[in-house]
Each structure stands twice: as structure tokens, then as C-alpha cells.
Chain A
Amino acid sequence: MCGNIFSSDPTVTKEIVLLLTQDGLCPRCVLRFLGAGDVGLFRATSEELAQKVKSLVDDQDDIFSPLPCPACLGILQVYLEEGFLNRVVEAVRTSDHQFKNFICSLTTPVCSLLREHAILLLLKEKFKSLYEHREVEEISSVKDVWKWRSGPLLAAALDAPFELKSKFDIILNFTYEKSDKECTFLSYHSPEVFRKRKQQRSYGDTYTRANVARVLSKMTEGYFKRNYSLPKSNETNVCLCEDIRCVHDAVFVAGRYNKYSRTLSQTPWILDGGRKSESSVEEEICGPLKKKFLFTEQRFSSSGREDVDVRMLGKGRPFVVEMGDPHRVRLTPEDLAEIQQEINKSADVKVRDLQIVEKNDINKLKEGEIEKTKTYSALCWSKEPLSQEQLQKLQEVKDLVIYQKTPIRVLHRRPLATRERVVYSMSAEKVDDLHFTLNLLTQAGTYIKEFVHGDFGRTTPNLGTLTGVECDILELDVQSVELDWPPSLGDT
């Protein structure tokens, strides 16, 4: 009738019910502490469950207090009624998210841990043989019982299934303003656990579920009973749920980008409150994405970076955009092709192979940054003309190990270190007496500009030491980033 509860003796069950209802517990909490854990049972309405509990005490009337339940602080009472559930549905509709299924996450006040503990201790005292070895984990939790009842109701109203592994989360934040005060006695018992920070970061920062649970497990029953008693029910001893937030898991989009401008930064460049470069690769890509995915936050990562004055040619550089809390998620490959076309209207940035990827795929990007080789083409100047033989000699250089101290241009924000890098091969073509094009294949992380001009001799060997002539770099292009990811979509 009530599924498997701890007691198999109806007389004992009756006594337990009377004890709990005397303290003001609601029907659902009575059933929880009786040991009921049957999902089907808890799908019933409040009236049905009240009837069920009354039947355990020979249908006595008026056993239930009209006041908020001290165990669940109203979460399994008013917050399971139609009024509140309608509020939840309304909040979901207003947030205008696209989703195929949903979960609910509840945060409950920390003091509910104390309440549960107190009630369990009471039961252990009065019904020793039944409850002596019961752990609080054996009592169905308030969160579970709430979800068992409201899940199907919300699913019907939202026309979407309640799914444990859903990417769309309806977050309900239940707060109780007296929660911290109730917990203060814990800090006398274990002051080292509850160090007060100079600035409280947010409400409920000192007493968290984790540290309260830890202290309770170490506290003796005697100490707990002497220093804590279940607060009396009254109308104000109820939770508030002022905050209902809907969030969809991030969606990840990857592709490869080309940069044809020598004045565009990769990410927004803002210094001292003013923009240093109008727009950026990131914004050119994320703008059109945002119009379709309607996300609130973006995080742009790429397999390495090029300077503002360096172009990214060839097949482009792999990148991933993490779109936080997207409000639209049902996008097809055709939609992505449209977004790609929109991005490609820009003269400075072009994108290819735009596709949705998994969160773990970001690791592939970083792999590329550290392991893969890159090819470059640099327009160089030499102080004196270089002969054909000198240029030819550069072609013969293979797997040259160079040592680069942190370039002076980034030394203000990077640690001083010497990096060993390899220039795998080079070739040079004369442009005129004092200019030539240098093509290089190098290890990832090589500073090309410093290899050409030597950076005050802090990169050695460098082009100057190899040719015996002072050299400088006028223009640099990245020709390719050798990473086979994301998979090519056959874009031209």
C-alpha cells in the first residue's frame, strides 16, 4: 500500500506517524521518514497522500498541521501545487529556449540537513530497533520526491519529456533566510571548518552542504541534541523561490578561418577603455553565429594565434566557439552553411568547414597548438644583397635547432625563458636586390619574426647569423596550420 516502509508492524507505524505529525510534518515527509521510496507512490496528489497517511492511523482527522512542514520547509507542500508549477512553466515559456527534453535542478537551504538529521535522531531514540542503523541516505530526499511528483506534470505542460541526462536545465533556487543562523552552533563545535571570509562572496557562503554534512558526521548525537532542536513551525518558516532560471548546455561550433587583413586582431582588443582595433576575427565569426543560436556568452579558442599584422592563408586556422546557453539549438547543416555564407561576406575573414562538434573536441585544438608544424612565408629585407649561393644555402638547412629567449615585445607579460625550437626546412626567392621571400616549415610555437631579425641576438641562430648579413622582416603570412581537424566538409 505504501510500498516498502521500514516498519512491518501497523501499530508501530501508527505511532511513528503520530509522532511525526505532532511535530508538524506534511504527508510526503511522513512517508519519507517511514521509509517509502516508491516513485509511483509519490506521483499521487497531496490529497491522495494525506488520505494514505490517515489510513495508517485509523483515519483520524486533523493530524496534519496547516503550517509549513519543518522538514521540507514547504518545498513538498506549496511548491508542488498548481500555482507554483504554473509559475515554472511561465518562466520556461518566457525564457524562449528551444529544447527537446529537460531536467530540474533544485538548490535547497543548507539548514534542511540539520532538520533531517534532527528528525532521524528523534526516530532513532523513540524507535531504536527500527532506526538504530538507518543512514540519512536511506530516507528519500526532498529533491527526489519533488521531481517524482512534478516531473510528469511539467512534462505534460511543456510537451517535452523529463530526462535525467537532458541538456536543458530548469534551475529552482529555494532560499530560507534563517538558514545561516540555524547553522551557527556548528561553528562553535568546529570553528576551523567555517572560517569566515573577509568578504562573503554570496549568500550562504560560510555554511555549505559539504562542510555542514562533514561536521554532522563527526558530531556526537548527544552534542547535537543539546545544541539543536527542530524549530517550531510557523507561517514564516517557509522557503522562498524567487529565482527560476533556465539554462541550456553549451553548444560547440568548429571551423577553420582565414584572415586577410593586416590590421585585424584575433580577439577583441580593448585597452584602457578604448578599442584598439575595430572588430576582430572572433567578432566577425561570432556575430552571425549569435544571430542564429541566440547565446548569451561566447568563448573563442583556436589552434595557436597570429599577430594583428600577419595574414592567415591556405586552408585556415582551426577554431572552436563555445556558445554558452544557446536559446536555439535545432540547427541543421544547411543552417550552418547559411551562417558560413553570412560570415564570408566580410572581406577580412573567411570561414570553412563550419560544423557542430562535441565539447571534448577542444582538446584536438590544443594538441595542434603544441604538436603540429606550421608553414610561413615572409617578405624579408637584407642590409646587403644576398647572392644566389647564399639563398641556395638556406635551402640546404634541415631540422635547424634554434634557441629563442622570450621576445622583447612580449617580455612584459610572459616569463623570461629560453625555448628550443626547430626550423625543419626553408627556401628563399629573390624579389629584388635587398628583398627576398623566405618560406619556412617550423615547429609549433616558433617566433618567426625573431628568427628573421634576431631580436638583439636573443634568438640564435637566426637569419642574420646564417647569412652573415643583417636581416629584417617586412611582412609575414601563415601559409598553413598542419592540423587535420575539424573534418573537411569539402568547401572550396
Chain B
Amino acid sequence: MADDNQQHDFEGSKRLLESEHPSLVDRYYQSRYLIDSQSKKNEDICILTHSNRICIVTVAEWHPLLREKKTISQISYDVEGVNRMDNKISGKGKRGAQLLTPSSPLCEVTCTDGSKYIITCGVRGQLIEVNETLLKSPDLLSLKPQTEGYIAIVLPKLGDFEGTTKNLLSKDEYIKIRSSGT
């Protein structure tokens, strides 16, 4: 049989090794942004969207939590009368999921300096899961805001993905706005 094929396809791999490494987020997700969430200045959220329409809500680097290098003491998913930990879904259709709108609160972040921030959803869809690791390790949010420190995973309804993401800014647009010093 074709034994030469059993080794790594050398030419292809060589190219891979020599090029710059795009991260997992760069390869599979598009970063979209919401600035001044809930009209709170600088409280930007970054939504990572996958080609299968799943949205991962994360805190953007410009947000005071990260920009001012705050130390987080606790994160709670029980916020404004709704407990996100109560979310129980079943089946492929994600029955029973809490329905979220762009202004739905996801969690409350408390810092050692007493400041508190509410992170809102930014998109419309079903709540799939919140990042429970943040309960025990809230510092993950500051260390890895775009990966292990994600806030929640949301699934927009089939057909609603375009509608709910069209108001979000693309990375280029966002960089333009934020670097012009506003």
C-alpha cells in the first residue's frame, strides 16, 4: 500500500512549521464587539462567533476590569433576580434554556477595590452554559479573558444569527474606534 503517505505529508507540514501560528480563536472564531455595553462607558464586550453560529461572550481588553488591571475577588451568576446557574438544558434542541437578549445580565464581577460590574450578553439566543470555573478561579477572567476566562456560551436561533450579530462591530471597526482615543 502507499507507505510514503504514512509519514507526515512533509511539504505541507514544512509550510505549517514555518508560518506564524494563528491561535485557536483566530482560526475558528470571528471577534465582534459591543462598545459601552448598557451605555456604561468603556464596558466593552467581545463576542467570539463560530461558523456554526455559537457565540462566546467574553470581556474585551478595553473593559475597566482588564484595562485597570483590577483584582477580582468573586464572580456570581446570580444577578438581578435571575440565577444563571439554574439553567438546565436537555437534548439537541437545548430545551429549557434561559432565553437571553442583548441586555440580559449574565454575571456580576466584584473586585477587591469594591467596584462591581455587570456583564451583559450582547446577543439574542439560548443560554447554553456559563463558565463555572470562574466561580472557583475568578482570576482566570483577568489572565485569559478570551479563552479559559470566557463568561458564557450562547446559541442564537437558526436564522437569527445574522440579525443578532449585525449590530456588533468587526475587529477592524472596533480597533479604529478605540484607537482614536474615544
Interface of A toward B, CB cutoff 8 Å: 258, 260, 262, 311, 313-314, 350, 352, 379, 381, 405, 408-416, 431-432, 434-435, 437, 453-454, 456-457, 472, 474-475, 477, 491-492
A313 B6 Cβ-Cβ under 8 A: yes
Chain A residues contacting B50 (CB-CB under 8 Å) are 408-409
B111 within 8 A of A: no
Provided the pairs A415-B91, A457-B133 are in contact, do residues A409 and B28 lie with their beta carbons within 8 angstroms?
A: yes
| Interchain nearest-CB distance for B98 vs A (Å) | 13
Q: How far is the CA of A91 from the CA of B123 in the complex (A)?
A: 61
B54 touching A260, Cβ below 8 Å:
no
Contact with B5, one of A313, A379, A409, A472 (Cβ below 8 angstroms): A313
B residues near A258, Cβ cutoff 8 Å: 1-2, 5
Select A350's contact among B2, B13, B23, beta carbons within 8 Å.
Answer: B2
B53 at the interface (CB under 8 A from A): yes
| Partner among A408, A472, A492 whose Cβ is within 8 Å of the Cβ of B153 | A408
Q: List 16 A-B contacts (CB under 8 A).
A: A311-B5, A314-B6, A350-B1, A411-B155, A412-B54, A414-B92, A415-B89, A454-B147, A456-B147, A456-B148, A457-B131, A457-B144, A457-B147, A472-B21, A474-B13, A491-B1
CA distance A412 to B90 in the complex (A): 13
| Chain B minimum-CB-distance residue to A411 | B54
Report the bound CA distance from A313 to B129 in whole Å.
36
Tell me if B39 is interfacial: C-beta within 8 Å of chain A: no
How many angstroms from the CA of A140 to the CA of B131 in the assembled complex?
A: 71
The residue on B at minimum CB distance from A492 is B1
B1 touches A456 (CB 8 A): no
Which residues from B are CB-within-8-Å of A379? 8, 13, 16
**Complex alpha-carbon distance, A304 and B2, angstroms:** 23
A454:B148 contact, CB within 8 angstroms: yes
Known contacts A350-B1, A411-B54, A456-B148; A434 and B92 CB within 8 A of each other: no
A492 to B28, CA, bound (A): 39
CA A413 – CA B92 in complex, angstroms?
6
9 interchain residue pairs of minimum CB distance: A457-B148, A412-B52, A260-B5, A453-B24, A474-B16, A381-B21, A313-B6, A415-B91, A415-B92
B102–chain A nearest beta-carbon distance, Å = 20
> Could you tell me which residues of chain B, from 18 to 46, have a CB within 8 Å of some CB in chain A?
21, 23-24, 28
* A416 touching B94, Cβ below 8 Å: yes
Q: Nearest residue in A to B148 (C-beta to C-beta)?
A: A457
- Once the chains bind, are A472 and B23 in contact (CB under 8 Å)? yes
With A260-B2, A411-B128, A475-B13 given, can you name 11 additional A-B contacts, CB distance below 8 Å? A258-B1, A379-B16, A413-B92, A416-B94, A431-B17, A453-B24, A456-B131, A457-B147, A475-B12, A477-B8, A492-B1
Contact B153 A411 (CB under 8 A): yes
- Provide the residues of chain A in CB contact with B153, threshold 8 Å: 408, 411
**Known contacts being A352-B1, A411-B155, A457-B148, is A416 close to B129, with CB within 8 Å?**
yes
Q: How far is the CA of A237 from the CA of B106 in the complex (A)?
A: 72
Bound together, the chains give a CA A371 to CA B162 distance in angstroms of 41
**In the complex, residue of chain A having the shortest beta-carbon distance to the beta carbon of B89:** A416
